[in-house]
Amino acid sequence: MEKYIFDQSNGLWYELQGDYYIPCLVLVEARTSPVGMWGRKHQQYLKKHRPMFYSDLVLSGKLYSYLADIDTQARNKLHLLVTQLAENEGIREQLKAQDQMAWVGAMSNIRNRAEEIILQELIYGEDAV
């Protein structure tokens, strides 16, 4: 028996392993950037609420690039939202110098609101997919 055979019907190479031919499969996608917190949250959402889309991403080999993209978008939007909300509410470095605890409380409040916006719009929202 030959060590390798090519199947014309599906275009795959097979390798002889014992008595069986096993397809020679190679993952196309190289994981270039890490998937952070936002990407993992979106992955859990897809697994639970959009299983067909999740399976399609896994089988096409595009899952990690998709999740890394979502994670990058969420981090960028978080930075932008925190900056804009702090500016709109007048939270500046001057407050930080005068009353650190008030500044920390205000920035924490702003960050929490920005994270909720990202969760609703990018991670769990209908527009998330």
Please list the residues that pair with 12 across neighbouring strands. Answer: 7
Say if residue 111 is in the same domain as residue 56: yes
72 and 15 housed in the same domain: no
Binned at pLDDT 50, 70 and 90, residue 74 comes out as: very high
Are 109 and 81 within one domain?
yes
Count of the separate structural domains present in the chain:
2
Which of 69, 81, 65, 75 shows the shortest CA–CA distance to 31?
65
User: For residue 93, what pLDDT is reported?
Assistant: 87
| pLDDT: which is higher, 80 or 3 | 80
70 has which bridge partners? none
On the question of pLDDT at 60 being above 90, the answer is no
Does the global pTM surpass 0.75?
Answer: no
Question: Are residues 13 and 45 both part of a single domain?
Answer: no
3-state secondary structure of 17: strand
Q: Are 14 and 36 in the same domain? A: no
pLDDT at 126: 66
CA dihedral 115, 56, 129, 122 (to 10 degrees): 10
| pLDDT-above-90 percentage for the chain | 66
Q: In this model, does residue 109 exceed pLDDT 90?
A: yes
Q: Which residue is listed with tokens 């014309």?
A: 8
Residues 39, 18 within the same domain:
no
> CA-CA distance, 72 to 67, in Å (whole number)?
9
Lowest-pLDDT range, 4-18, 26-40, 46-60, 100-114? 26-40
The number of CA neighbours under 13 Å toward the Cβ of 15 is 5
